[in-house]
Amino acid sequence: EVQLQASGGGLVQAGGSQRLSCAASGFTDDDYAIGWFRQAPGKEREGISCIGSSDGNTWYADSVKGRFTVGSDNTEKTVYLQMNSLKPEDTAVYYCAAKLGHLCGSFTMQTIFYVSWGQGTLVTVSS
């Protein structure tokens, strides 16, 4: 059973940085991807980034491109989301999730494709 645990949320001022981590365990092969999603109050869950396990291919939503960077430490089975130049509109609960297959793209960011979810971590950006 794949298990994910997200951490690193907190309160940060606009323009600041925050780094989220997603610790993963239980994978039986190396062909998977980790996606990052966020859900702001009153809004739908939004896919914002993805990284593939085998080749490290990445994808970013336009809303975070150029500000957020996804990376992984395959030895530690941990995926990171480095968030820079944070804006108040980035305030949300952030989730990491795992899907089968390593390809990342806008077409892979539907929540239905993700078979395991972390518990979410709240990021609050103050103005």
Rounded to an integer, the average pLDDT of 3-27 is 95
pLDDT at 73: 86
pLDDT at 76: 74
pLDDT at 55: 87
Cα–Cα distances in angstroms (integers) from residue 71 to residues 1, 36, 45, 126, in the given order: 23, 11, 21, 25
Query: What letter does residue 53 receive in the DSSP assignment?
Result: T
42-84 pLDDT, tens digit per residue, is 999 999 999 998 888 999 999 999 999 999 987 778 999 999 9
42 contacts: CB under 8 Å, gap ≥ 6: none
| C-beta neighbour count of 53 within 10 angstroms | 21
